[in-house]
Amino acid sequence: MNSTIPQTRALKRRPKVSASPLLHVSRPALTAFNPALPVDDSLVVAGELRDQFNGLKDLIDAIQTLSNAVVEGTSTLPPGSPATVTLSVSNGTLNFSFGIPQGISGGDGGQGPQGEQGIQGEQGIQGIQGEQGIQGYQGEPGVPGAPGEVTNAALSAAIAGTSSNSNGVALLGLVVSDPPTQSEVQQIVNKLDELITALRR
């Protein structure tokens, strides 16, 4: 009786590999996103990766939603200064503050055309009378003016009063002797001079 002897397969033994300790990465307790993690060529650690995701979420949740923008004010800067702008966020409102440099003064422009004459304003109240000034120098005599016009009435009145010029000369009342004396002749000469003076105008 033949008996079948099972053939035994030669078991291949795997090469014995010396056990090496696993790379252990210490995981610090994270409270914020760390862009330096995970370290290159390191094992993925679930807790570390979870902390990174949570840190990113915290950053996203901290972003404020803007619903309005307001210009808080402007300020004037010295000429030649750079313009500035300041931004701040408060309760969903974006606040702007601008600094505008003052322009440099330009040169004088040309004279413009004369404008139309305005309406005359109301007369102002009379001012206080000033003190009397010092007397000025006497001016040179002016050119004699032309003779004025004489009316007929003025000429008639002047002629009518001409004969009265001699009324102030009294009569001589002298009886001349024969021959006349020097005293009598002198009285006649004096009376004649008096009449000539009265008749002059």
**The pLDDT value given to residue 186:** 93
Provide the token pair at 161: 């009063």
pLDDT value, residue 185? 92
Which of the 8 DSSP states describes residue 177? Answer: -
Confidence label for 199 from pLDDT (cuts 50, 70 and 90):
confident
The per-residue pLDDT for range 162-191, each reduced to its tens digit, is: 666 677 788 888 888 989 999 989 999 998
Could you state, in order of their start, the residue ranges of all structural domains in the chain? Answer: 26-63, 68-99, 172-201
Res 25 pLDDT > 70: no
- How far from 174 is each of 134, 179, 183, 193, CA to CA, in Å? 62, 14, 11, 16
Helix residue ranges, H only, the chain: 46-62, 152-160, 182-199
Rg (alpha carbons) of the chain, rounded to whole number = 68
Average model confidence (pLDDT) across the chain: 78
Tell me the per-residue pLDDT of 87-144, one tens digit each, with 9 for 90 and over.
Answer: 888 777 888 888 899 888 888 888 889 888 888 888 888 888 888 888 888 888 888 8
Whether this model's pTM surpasses 0.75 = no
Confidence of residue 52 (pLDDT cuts 50, 70, 90): confident
Alpha-carbon distance 31 to 150, whole Å? 125
